[in-house]
Amino acid sequence: MLFVLCGVNTLQAQEKKKVNITHPGDFTKDEVKYPGADIMSKDNQQVKFEHDGIELWCDVAVFWRQDNRIEAFGNVFFQQGDSIRMRSEEAEYDANTKIAIARGKVNLRNNSMSLSTEEVEFDRNKQQAYYKTEGTVRDSENTLTSNRGKYYLELSKYEFSSDVQITNPEYHIESSRLDYYTKSRNAFMYGPSTITGKDYKIYCEKGYYSTVGETGYGVKNTRIDYNDRIIYGDSLFFDKARQFASATNNIKVIDTINQGVIKGNYAEVFKAEDSVFVTRKALAISVFEKDSLYIHGDTLMVTGPEDGRIIRAFKDARFYKSDMSGRCDSIHSDQRSGITRFITKRPAGVSEKLAGKYRPVIWSARSQMTGDSIVLLSNPKTEKLDSLKVLGDAFIIQLDSVSHAKYKDSLKQGFNQIKAKNLYGHFENNELKYIDMIKNAELIYYLWDDNGEFIGIDKRKCGRINFTLIENAIDEVTSFNNVDGNIFPEGALPIPDRRYKGFYWRGDEMINGVQDLFSEEDMNEGLVPILGISAPIDPDNPDLTPEDVEDDEEEPEETNSPAGLQPVKPMPAAKDTTKVGKGSLPHEEQ
């Protein structure tokens, strides 16, 4: 009895899989061309079949009852419930595998979306459609084209590959591999991709873009061309409505107008305010003819229009060029006026003896310059350095190279010193050449003959001191107005009198190259991990993950990606089929 019941159940299951002929039309056979098949053709209406939730209409049908398979020709119309409607010139349907293959001017519709191509394979078991001929997808906003594609009905998702393009009046997207969600109109890109808007251009090799809000991000080989700036970074975010872009890790912002470059590990760009904010190993680079000026601070801000950029560096600001470097609390550089200010505020309670430690400082070769404030001026038209001002307690200290090389005893090692109320320097060809020390000038200078024999220490006071620099060393010192001083022989000038009040040597802080701009903390700071999540893959389908879509293909390698980006699987090839015949009668709407 159990055997009989099992047999009945098996027969019922087989019967459920059989194709039902709803309207056979005119009936004939051709055992030579189609052995074992029934040939049906349109009479007053099209031939119609039903099978397990689908309906199929055509002008001519070749039906193999034993194989449970149909070949349809002429105005073929395939419908699955309310979800899928597909038209074509011809089609095959295998009721056993539930796979339909449509060919010739194929148009597949699903709600507000349509796909047009020359061949589509639709797998009803997986609820997936495949095509590997040039196809066009249209929804209410966008037109998408590609050479190959795969559509997941349950996820409302397309996987496009090979020359993918999305066209919209506001933007254009090109990609080698792209996933598109038809409900949210979100695009996920895997491979070289370019998004071109009216006032921006984005390139990435892995990223996300909302075609509705024109927002997105990239996480591999990313670049944004935005408001006369080119932004590179390991990860980039863009928001058109907010006129905002940000970058994380190994970022570079290029000013295409002024040829300036800013580097760091985090940046924000505000288009409306024409400003850039950079932090985490931030570095600004400006070109002066054949030399470059590097500015670093914990935070950098660049604001203003193209002809009036202002660079601000604050908190442990530092700068370097080949013949000059410096350090202070903050730097303010105005391109329009050509004025760069180096600013440091002495903490309350610091004694005059230690004041030099907290003043802005500039080094030029072996010379150290400090003062209450330091101003560097350049010519805005020629972009050449013009002059230097050190205002308030200007103090120059220079290693006396001969005594430092000759004596191991630090007490015998001397420092040349010039101090005054203010310092005024003049540049030639971007090199500091002439310096005037104005008001209450004082000098201590070690004198040696050509044989390296000590002559004495020149110590004097006057109203003004002028000197030149040769290879960044003090030379040809001239004193003016009420000169009072003497040259002291060896031992005649006590050690304590060889240093002026306020002397503070900061040679251990000297910046000798670009790497010295960064503190130990900067150098030890690691990059922020660019991580993603495994699921969900789209906000429209929060309960569905890639595992919900069956696929026998090999899993791709895991990759780090931001929220929403997922590894994708290659599209399976369509099955090889053979064309037979062609119908010619128009389809009648059912």
DSSP assignment string, 99-134? EEEEEEEEEEEETTEEEEEEEEEEETTTTEEEE-S-
Closest CA to 516 of 355, 283, 359: 283
Structural contact between residues 136 and 148, judged by C-beta atoms closer than 8 angstroms: no
Q: How confident is the model at residue 9 (pLDDT cuts 50, 70, 90)?
A: very low
Position 187 pLDDT exceeds 50: yes
* Section 326-355 average pLDDT: 83
Per-residue confidence (pLDDT) for residue 97, from 0 to 100? 93
* Cα–Cα distance measured from residue 146 to residue 165, given in angstroms and rounded to the nearest whole number: 6
* Cα–Cα distance measured from residue 539 to residue 112, given in angstroms and rounded to the nearest whole number: 19
262-270's contacts with Cβ under 8 Å and 24+ in sequence apart are 262/300, 262/302, 264/300, 265/525, 265/527, 265/528, 266/528, 267/231, 267/233, 268/244, 269/226, 269/227, 269/229, 269/231, 269/244, 269/245, 270/243, 270/244
Position 60 pLDDT exceeds 60: yes
Structure tokens at 368: 């150290």
Query: The tokens 């905002």 sit on which residue?
Result: 244
* Section 413-418 average pLDDT: 88
Q: Which domains does the chain have, with CATH numbers?
A: 360-479 (2.60.450)
Closest CA to 41 of 19, 63, 64: 63
Position 72 pLDDT exceeds 90: yes
Per-residue confidence (pLDDT) for residue 289, from 0 to 100? 65
* Cα–Cα distance measured from residue 103 to residue 497, given in angstroms and rounded to the nearest whole number: 100
208-212's contacts with Cβ under 8 Å and 24+ in sequence apart are 208/562, 208/564, 208/565, 209/173, 210/184, 210/185, 210/186, 211/141, 211/142, 211/166, 211/168, 211/171, 211/173, 211/185, 211/186, 211/187, 212/141, 212/184, 212/185, 212/186
Structural contact between residues 235 and 216, judged by C-beta atoms closer than 8 angstroms: no
Which has the minimum average pLDDT: 140-149, 384-393, 543-552? 543-552
Residue 435 Cα to chain centre, angstroms = 45
Comparing 345 with 147, the larger pLDDT belongs to 147
Mean pLDDT of the chain: 81
* Cα–Cα distance measured from residue 58 to residue 73, given in angstroms and rounded to the nearest whole number: 6
Residues 471-495: tens digit of each pLDDT? 767 777 888 888 888 899 888 888 8
Q: Dmax of the chain from CA atoms? A: 132
Cα of first residue to Cα of last residue in the chain, in angstroms, is 46
Residues 147-165: tens digit of each pLDDT? 999 999 888 889 998 889 9
State the amino acid at position 315 in one-letter form: K
Per-residue confidence (pLDDT) for residue 75, from 0 to 100? 96
* Cα–Cα distance measured from residue 370 to residue 394, given in angstroms and rounded to the nearest whole number: 6
Position 80 pLDDT exceeds 70: yes
3-state helix, strand, coil in the chain (%, to 5): 10, 55, 35
* Section 237-248 average pLDDT: 88
Per-residue confidence (pLDDT) for residue 81, from 0 to 100? 86
Structural contact between residues 66 and 89, judged by C-beta atoms closer than 8 angstroms: no
Q: How confident is the model at residue 288 (pLDDT cuts 50, 70, 90)?
A: low
Comparing 140 with 562, the larger pLDDT belongs to 140
Residue 30 Cα to chain centre, angstroms = 65
* Section 8-31 average pLDDT: 73
Structure tokens at 40: 């049906």
Q: What CA dihedral angle connects 155, 159, 165 and 170, to 10 degrees? A: 20
Residues 383-394: tens digit of each pLDDT? 778 889 999 889
Asked, as a colleague might, if the bond just before 489 is cis with ω within 30 of 0, I would say no
Give backbone dihedrals phi and psi of 126, rounded to 5 degrees, phi first. Answer: -90, -10
SS3 string of 476-514? EEEEECCCEEEEECCCCCCHHHHCCCCCCCCHHHCCCCH
Structure tokens at 469: 């620099």
